[in-house]
Amino acid sequence: MTQDQLHTYKCNAYVAAVAIAAIAFLGASFALVPIEITTALLVTAALLGILSLIFEVGIAFPLLIHGATSFSTVTFMAMIFLLPFPTPALLGAIVVLVNDIWERKPFRSLVFNFSNYALTFGLASFAWYYFSDGRALHELPLTIESLVAVLSILAIFYLVNVFTLNGYLAVANRRPFAYIWLTQDAEFLLPYVSLQVVGMLFAALWGTAPAAIPFLIVPAVTTYLAFETIKRLQGQTQDAMIAMADAIDARDQYTAEHSRRVTDLAVQIAEGYGLRAQEIDRVELAARVHDLGKIGISDVILNKPGKLEDHEWDLMKAHPVIGEQLLGPYRQFRHESTIVRHHHERWDGRGYPDGIKGNDIPIGSRIIAVADAFDAMTSDRPYRKALPDEVAIDEIRKGALSQFDPQVVASFLHVAEDMAKVTPITRATEHTASTAALPEEIRQISAAK
């Protein structure tokens, strides 16, 4: 069985397990808990179902990786508190299924989403049924115990849904569960809970002051607009920074696509080094914008065909700090800005801008330093032609323990071999003629112009 086949098997097995659990839960619930079907129940279920479909199809919040969470969270929570168990389990799952069919999602998604929501609604409504003895929210006295119970239901609904969904995403994307939650849900926990609270208020007003329900539109829409605006601004800011970095690379023919190549190599080194998925993503984003600070460096200096003067070199060494200052104010770059600042530090402490050494240098910076140096040496520059890959690899190897983290160098060498960059990797002494022409600032590589 190939790795891809094994991965597909794991995904299908996960979906099958969730589906079996959902079918067993629904079957047992409807068999053991009698439901008195009344006109009021049918009308309430129909109204909540129709509203949920409208919200599910019409108003959705985009998430970071993919997918969305929708305005239907409000009516979903109302189902829990207004409808007798196990009605919410079936109705909520049907709403999700109809929406997925409307969006023409694949069969596996239909099965998984139906099963996930059957369990989510089912477990949350069972917990409410157990506490309330089958009563609706507005029929209970306002006590501390009732408040704790309501908050517990909100937590159960969120945790079951997120745990089941993120478990599948972790398997499907081959990422740790914690990483999926941190990137997919953590940032939007507060807006999601806010919609849950609006749903709880919806249920409380349903039986006491239904005329006041339309006024809940204000907090609900405010939450939605705030959520959508934050997401859009974060995406636009990140895209703008990356576009600016690409524009800097495009200022001359020698550095075009430099940041993209450094990013590709840095990610491979990070994976070989064994970094966690979240750290690899940080390395990837930092590598894409690592030279952003060169926007503050004159073209005369960047494209100078000869050796830089001391004052020019001092200006060049300021670009990591400028990059950090540009990225630092934005929350989505809070980790990457530090990586950018230190990507020209050296293992022996002779780098810049801060002269830190060894493990004091962020691991992302150490990885980008190697990838940046390799691409700088193997690309044409105004003052020299590109060096052969084998020469550049030997220079990186010789820089271990002085300029570069030796473990990062080892990971780089494995990547170079896997990519068949050099077969075999020759010693630098066999390329005296090539290395003799290597300028001092490239031999030191910290410049990585």
**What is the greatest pairwise CA distance in the chain?**
92
CA distance 217 to 40: 24
Tokens 């390799």 found at:
374
pLDDT of residue 439: 40
> What are the tens digits of pLDDT across the range 259-298?
999 999 999 999 999 888 888 989 999 999 999 998 888 8
Model pLDDT, residue 351: 95
* Residue 118: both structure tokens together: 């059957």
For the chain, list the domains and their CATH numbers. 3-229 (1.10.1760.20), 250-444 (1.10.3210.10)
Rounded Cα–Cα distance for residues 184 and 170 (Å): 11
d(CA 8, CA 418): 25
Q: What pLDDT was estimated at residue 216?
A: 83
313-317 — which CB contacts under 8 Å span 24+ positions?
Answer: 313/441, 313/447, 316/447, 316/449, 317/344, 317/352, 317/353
pLDDT value, residue 248: 79
Where residue 83 falls (left for φ over 0; alpha for ψ -120 to 50; beta otherwise) is beta
Residue 106 makes CB contacts below 8 A (sequence gap 6+) with none
Residue 339 and residue 372 in contact, taking contact as beta carbons nearer than 8 Å: no
Q: How far apart are CA 409 and CA 396, in angstroms?
A: 7
Q: What is the pLDDT of residue 365?
A: 97
**One-character DSSP codes across 167-202:** HHHHHHHT--HHHHHHHHTGGGHHHHHHHHHHHHHH
> What pLDDT is recorded for position 264?
94
pLDDT at 252: 62
Ranges of residues in the chain with a pLDDT under 70 are 57-70, 224, 252-255, 382-383, 419-449
